[in-house]
């Protein structure tokens, strides 16, 4: 399964780097650490000039405005 995702040109796997960790510390309105890391990764990748689509049905993420 991971090979399928890895070979999909629409998917980009970004590392959990210091930029993501720093951004996740700012997202105090999201209680769940993993949700903060997901959203912060999307925000960091977007800040680098990339178009980002974050697909979720998690109400904690949907109710936030970035």
pLDDT at 64 > cutoff 90: no
- The pLDDT score that the predictor gives to residue 14 is 93
pLDDT at 56 > cutoff 80: yes
Place 11 in a pLDDT band, splitting at 50, 70 and 90: confident
Place 66 in a pLDDT band, splitting at 50, 70 and 90: low
Residue 24 CA, chain-centre distance (Å), reads 9
pLDDT at 58 > cutoff 70: yes
Residue 39 CB neighbours (<10 A): 23
CA distance 62 to 57: 7
**pLDDT tens digits, 30-47:** 889 999 999 999 999 999
């Amino acid at each position: 399964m991971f090979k399928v995702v890895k070979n999909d040109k629409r998917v980009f796997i970004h590392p959990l780097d210091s930029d993501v960790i720093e951004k996740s510390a700012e997202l105090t309105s999201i209680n769940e650490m993993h949700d903060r890391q997901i959203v912060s990764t999307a925000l960091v990748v977007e800040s680098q000039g990339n178009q980002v689509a974050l697909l979720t049905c998690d109400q904690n993420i949907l109710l936030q405005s970035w």
